[in-house]
Amino acid sequence: MKRVVLSLLSILLLSQISFAQNWRNEISSNYFYIRVAENPEKYWDLPGNHPNTAKRDIQFQIWDKDADEFERTFIFPTINGTELFAIRNKAGYIVDVAGKEKLSATEEIKKKTGKKFKMKKDNGVEIQTWDYDGTGVARWQQWRLIIVDQNVVIFENAFTNKAIDIQMGHIHENGSKLQSWDRNNSGAQRFVLEYATGPKKGQLLRFD
């Protein structure tokens, strides 16, 4: 009897591992729209249209869904086999936290005289595009997927430990900007992944 119980537990554990591995394989091999979980009409977007959006240092926003797959669809390359991912759009740019990692000696002196600097670990800094060449992805371009339920996820940055957030919680307004903010599990930080291509197009990714 004990062997049967252990066998069943082993099968259950292997099944859970398989499910976990499946969604990781899915996000690193398929393109997805990233949609606001609590508003089925708003998606991650860049202001303007491709190819004008194929450049770095553009702040992400939310907008009604459109057909510009290059700025709107994302794949999640794994970071050296870890639990972390880059988020790259079809135009080839990755999701990045704006601001400075640290200040130089000169900047530290200027700070003492009252000059303000935008730092990556500050609340409110922009979530923006940056170059991606497949190597040397900085920590502020690496993301944990915090699974909320079978479809909903929060994106937490590996360097700042802050979440991708919609400014002022304006999840129903076109043009609301994405920013970095303390994780609070609010609707402004909860997203779902919608298959953009293939036989599952239009369906939501399941994390269970």
Q: What pLDDT does 1 receive? A: 54
pTM comes to 0.87
Mode of pairing for the β-strands spanning 143-147 and 152-157: antiparallel
Total number of domains constituting the chain: 1
Residue 26 confidence (pLDDT) above 80: yes
Please state, in angstroms and as integers, the Cα–Cα distance from residue 90 to each residue in 5, 33, 96, following that order. Answer: 47, 11, 15
Mean pLDDT, all residues of the chain: 90
Find the domain containing 96 and state its range: 2-195
Please, what's the largest Cα pairwise distance for the chain?
A: 74
Q: pLDDT grade, residue 9 (50/70/90)?
A: very low
Residue 4 confidence (pLDDT) above 60: no
Structural domain includes residue 208? no
Structural domain includes residue 121? yes
Looking at residue 54, which CATH number applies to its domain?
2.80.10.50
Structural domain includes residue 152? yes
Q: What pLDDT does 143 receive? A: 98
Q: What pLDDT does 15 receive? A: 34
Structural domain includes residue 202? no
Q: How far is the C-alpha of 82 from the C-alpha of 84, rounded, in Å?
A: 5
Structural domain includes residue 137? yes
State residue 125 phi and psi, 5-degree precision.
Answer: -75, 155
pLDDT tens-digit series, residues 36-95: 999 999 999 999 999 999 999 999 999 999 888 999 999 999 998 899 999 999 999 999
Structural domain includes residue 203? no
Residues 6+ apart with CB under 8 A from 19: 208
Q: What pLDDT does 67 receive? A: 83
Structural domain includes residue 205? no
Element containing residue 18 per DSSP (H, E): helix 2-29
Q: What pLDDT does 136 receive? A: 82
Q: What pLDDT does 76 receive? A: 98
Structural domain includes residue 207? no
